[in-house]
Structure 1
Amino acid sequence: MSIKIRKATVNDAPFLAQMILQSTRAGKKSGIFDLIFETEDKKTILNKLEALTQTTAKTQCHYSNFLIAESDGKSVGTLSSYEPRIATKEAFVDALNEVGCGEHMEESLEVIYSCDFGLNNRTLMFDYMEELEGFIDVGVLKTLMTKSLLTARLKGYRIAQAVVEIGSLETLLFYKKLGFKVVKEQECDLYKEKFGRAGLVLLSIEF
């Protein structure tokens, strides 16, 4: 199977929204965007996420940070790589306000930031590494990551990191196969209360 990697465009917003939601729910009934948008209605959340990929504020969800994997002209996977010094907490809040967020947004964000690792601004972050069902184990994610690491190196980065939920065994195993190593684990009562996962794991790779 031939896999082509390209930069996402604004026209990819619907697919990006789908992959972001899939990534944040990660086998759970609800994820962080269910909490932020104060609904579990999939259509409503997808519409909000589609808008979030196109906001003026450049967040980790902005389409310009994504690579798209294609097979036979069909989008089958995504990976976002972003710089924490640009995709800041403040930018995220601005973007959420831009798309019309729930009135309890600050409380919702507290759940995420209770597990904050205090990321290094000089480190490149990876997020929303997802693929469609039916394309698992055909090399989509590995191809996306290889291309992202090559691009990161050309930009002068030598370290990349990713944050994964404790208990997301398949995702953790995949990152480790790619050469990532666990740097730190953070257990958070608030996160566990909302999502049933003990907290988050910070992974890192030097390249």
Structure 2
Amino acid sequence: MSVTIKQAVATDAPFLAQMILKSSRAGKKAGLFDFLFDMGSEDDILKKLEQLTQTESKSHCHYKNFLIAQIDGQNVGTLCSYEPRISNQETFEKALKEIGCCEDSEGILEAFYDCTFNIRKSILMFDFMEELDNFVDVGVLKSLMQKSLLTARLRGYRKAQSIIEIGSLETEMFYKKLGFTFVEQKECVDYKETFGRSGIMLFEIEF
């Protein structure tokens, strides 16, 4: 099975929405976007996420930050890479406002952003590393990561980081398998009360 990697385009929004939602849930019933979009139906949440990938404000969810893995022309996985100096809390909140969200979600965003690390602007961030369930262990994530790291090196980066929830065992396993090392973790009461996990972990890779 040959995996090919392509840059995402605007018409990939429906697939990106599926992968973002799956990744954000991290094995739980509900994740950040379920709460932000008021625990709506799955279709409603996906429609909002499609809009979020195409906003004028370039948040980390913007389609231009994504690579897509394909097998025989079928989209099977995603990996997002973004620069914290461009895609940050401010741009994310602007993007949410563009799609009519989320006036009643200040507490959710506060719990999300209060539990964070001091990320250096010289670091490239990875997020939404996800693959379809029936394409696990065929090299999808490895191919995405190899392409992302090659592109990052050509842009002058030598380190990349990723933040995952404590207890996201499958995601943690994948990052370690791909060469990432654990840096630190942070436990937050409000985060646990809101999202059901005790906090977050920071992983890093040098290349």
TM range (shorter): over 0.9
Task: List per-residue Cα deviations over 1:124-173 (Å, max 9, x = no partner).
Answer: 00000000010000000000000000000000000000001101111111
For normalisation by structure 1, the TM-score amounts to: 0.98
Could you tell me how far apart the structure 2 residues matched to 1:111 and 1:49 are? Answer: 20
What residue is the counterpart of 1:201 in the other structure?
201
CA distance in structure 2 between the aligned counterparts of 1:88 and 1:172, rounded to whole angstroms: 23
SS where residue 134 of structure 1 aligns? helix
**Does structure 2 retain, via aligned residues, the 8 Å contact 1:24–1:32?**
yes
Q: Answer whether contact 1:30 1:40 (CA < 8 A) is retained.
A: no
Q: Is the 8 A contact 2:108 2:194 kept in 1?
A: no
Q: Confirm or deny that 1:113 pairs with 2:84.
A: no
Work out the CA distance in 1 between the residues paired with 2:41 and 2:26. 16
Matches within 5 A, 1:55-66: 55-66=55-66
For the 8 Å contact 2:26–2:171, the answer to whether it is kept is: no
Aligned-partner Cα distance in 1 for 2:107–2:121: 25
Q: Distance in 2 between matches of 1:195 and 1:86?
A: 26
Q: Could you tell me how far apart the structure 1 residues matched to 2:114 and 2:88 are?
A: 16
Q: Which residue type is aligned with residue 160 of structure 1?
A: A
The aligned residue for residue 152 of structure 1 is 152
Percent of aligned positions that are identical: 61
Report 1:73-112 matches (<5 A): 73-112=73-112
* More divergent stretch after superposition (159-168 vs 186-195): 186-195
Aligned positions, number:
207
- Contact kept, 8 Å, 1:28 with 1:195, in 2: the verdict is no
Higher mean displacement: 31-40 or 160-169? 31-40
Contact 1:53–1:62 (CA under 8 A) maintained in structure 2 = yes
Partner Cα distance (2:39, 2:65) in 1: 26
State the partner residue of 1:4.
4
Name the CA distance, whole Å, in 1 between partners of 2:96 and 2:105: 8
* In 2, Cα distance between equivalents of 1:116 and 1:165: 11
Match of 1:31 in 2: 31
Runs of 4+ in structure 1 displaced over 6 angstroms? none
Secondary structure of the residue aligned to 2:116 is coil
The one-letter code matched in structure 1 to 2:22 is: Q
Asked whether the equivalents of residues 7 and 67 of structure 1 are also in contact (C-alpha less than 8 Å), the reply is yes
Distance 2:7 2:108 in 1: 31
Match of 1:171 in 2: 171
Q: Which runs of 5+ in 2 are unaligned?
A: none
Moved more, 25-34 or 67-76: 25-34
Structure 1 gaps, min length 5: none
Bigger mean CA deviation after superposition, 88-97 or 104-113: 104-113
81-90 vs 101-110, which moves further: 101-110
Please report how far the alpha carbon of residue 38 of structure 1 lies from its aligned counterpart in structure 2 after TM superposition: 1.2
Shift of residue 88, structure 1, vs aligned partner: 1.6
Q: What secondary structure does 2:134 align onto?
A: coil
Q: How many Å apart are 1:182 and its aligned residue?
A: 0.9
Amino acid at match of 1:99: I
Task: Tell me, in whole angstroms, the C-alpha distance in 2 between the residues paired with 1:174 and 1:49.
Answer: 24
Q: Secondary structure at the match of 1:78?
A: strand
Distance (Å, rounded) in 2 between the aligned partners of 1:188 and 1:2: 42
Q: Is the Cα contact below 8 Å between 2:142 and 2:178 reproduced in 1?
A: yes
